[in-house]
Structure 1
Amino acid sequence: MFVRLYLKTLKILKRILLVLLAMFMIFVVNGAVEYFIVQNRIQEFKERAVGEPVADSNIANTYYYRVPAKEDEDTSRNIFNFERRFIGAKGDIITSNRNPLRDYPPWNFFIQPFAHYLYLGHTSINSAEDGSRVYETLGNRNWENNIVQESTNTWILSEEYGSDDYSSPVIIGLRIRNTTSEQRDKMIEYAASKDGYPYNYTFLFNRANGFYCTDIVSRSVAAAGINVNYDHLATTGNDILCSKNVYIIFIREVVIENGVERYNIYYLDGGE
C-alpha cells in the first residue's frame, strides 16, 4: 500500500513538473518573439530623431535627441522635464530592463538575461500630472517595504545622482493612446486603492492579494477599460511595450564608448 501511494505521488509530481516546464517554455518562446517586436519599436523611435545630438552642459556624457511627434502622438502633457528630470505625465508608464536582483549574487546570474530581454527590471505608472509621483511595487527591498506604494519619480535622478555605480541599460517612457483625464484618474484611483498590498512573488497565483510591478501597472490601466498586456498572460515589460495601445515618448540608453558610459536621451517633441 505504501509503495502504491509513493508511486501515485511520484506520478502526480511528474505531471506537475511537466506542466511547469511547459509553462516556462511557452513563457521563454513568447518572450523571444516579443523581444524582437520591442527592439523594432525602440529602433524605429530612435531613427526618427532629427538634427545633431545636444550635449548636456551640466551632466557629463549625456546627449539629447529630439524625436518629432507623429500626428496621433500627444505631446500636450509633460514628456520630460529637463530641469527636474521627471519622465512623463499622469497615467504614463515607465519601464526598464535593469536587473532587479543585481545585488544578490545567487540570483543575479539567473535573472540577468530575463531582465535584459523581457524587460523584467521594473515598471511604474505616473500618478501626478507633472510626472513627479509614481505608483509602484518593489520586490527587492526589506519585506515591510515590498508593497504597492506611491513614491517620488526618481527614475532619472537615481541614475544621475545616486550612489549605485550600476546604470540601467534602457529606461523607456510610454504614453497610452487617446486617454481622457477621467480614464487617467481611474487608473490612479485603482492603484491608490491597492496601496499597501504586498509584492506577489508567485506572479501567476494569489493575484487577489498581491501585485508585482508590471501587474499593478497593467491592472491599473485595465481599470480604465484599456488593455496593455499584449499576450494576456503574466504581464512583463515586453508585453506593455508590444501593446498597440501605447507609444514611446522617451528613451534613455547607456552605450559604452572607449570604456566610458554615454547616456543618450531620446524624447518626443511636438515642436517644429
Structure 2
Amino acid sequence: MSERELKAAQDTLRDFLAQARSAVAFTGAGLSTECGIPDFRSPGGLWTQNKPIPFDVFVAHQAARDEAWRRKFAMDAAFGAATPGRGHTALARLLADGRLRAIITQNIDGLHQASGVPDAALVELHGNTTYATCLDCGQRHELDWVRSRFEASGGKAPFCEACEGPVKTATISFGQAMPVAEMARADKLSRACDLFIVIGSSLVVYPAAGFPLIAKRAGARLVIINREETDFDEMADLVVRAEIGDVLEPFIQGVAANA
C-alpha cells in the first residue's frame, strides 16, 4: 500500500469513527507482532514450532501438562518482556476518548490491559495467559506460584493447592468450551454496534471469527486492517492491508489533540 493509499484509508477510518455512535474493535494476533510476539500461522509462527496440545489431552495426561507448562515458561522467557505497541496504544486512547465502546479480542497476552484498557471494556474470547486457574474448582493461581512448584519438582505441572485439581493457564485450548459470558457479551456488542473494526485477525478461528459477520448482517460498517487478505474482505466497507502500527499511529496523536 502506497503512502497516498494509506493516508486515504486513515481518513476514511477517521470519518467512520466520527460518524459512529457505537464502535467496536476486534483484535487478533497480528496486533501484537509489532511487540515481538509471533502470530500463530505464518512462517515462524507459534504453531509451526509446536503443535497445540488439545484440552482433553492436557486433562488426561501428566506428561502433556508438564509439556504445556514447559512451553509456557519458555515463551515467557522469549516474549514475556513485551510491551504494548502503537496499535494497543491507539485503541486505548480511542476508548478513553469515547470513540470506541469496547474491544473484543482473540489475544491472550494481556497487552490490552497493559496499555490501559479497563477490564470492563475488554472481552477476552480466548482467555488470558498471564495467570492460571484450577480446572476443577476455578481457583486463580499466579504464575510465580506455578513456576516455583514446576521448577522445584523438576518440571512437573503442579496441582491446585485447594482441591488437587489440574492447573492450567487461563486460556481456551483446542477442544475446550468457549467462555459463555464472554461469548454472550461479544454477541451483544456485535449486534448493537454500527462500526466493527477488525485489527490483526486472519478471521479463520471460529466461533470468534463469526462476530464480524454478525455485526455486518446487523447493519454495521465493517473495517478490516490486516497485512494479509481474509475471507471477509469482499463484504468489508474498508480494507487496509498494511502494518497495523502504521495505520493506527495517527489516531494516537489525533485523539490527544482533540481531547
Q: Which has the higher helix share?
A: 2
With normalisation by structure 2, the TM-score equals 0.29
Which protein is bigger by CA-based radius of gyration?
1
TM-score, length of structure 1 as denominator length: 0.28
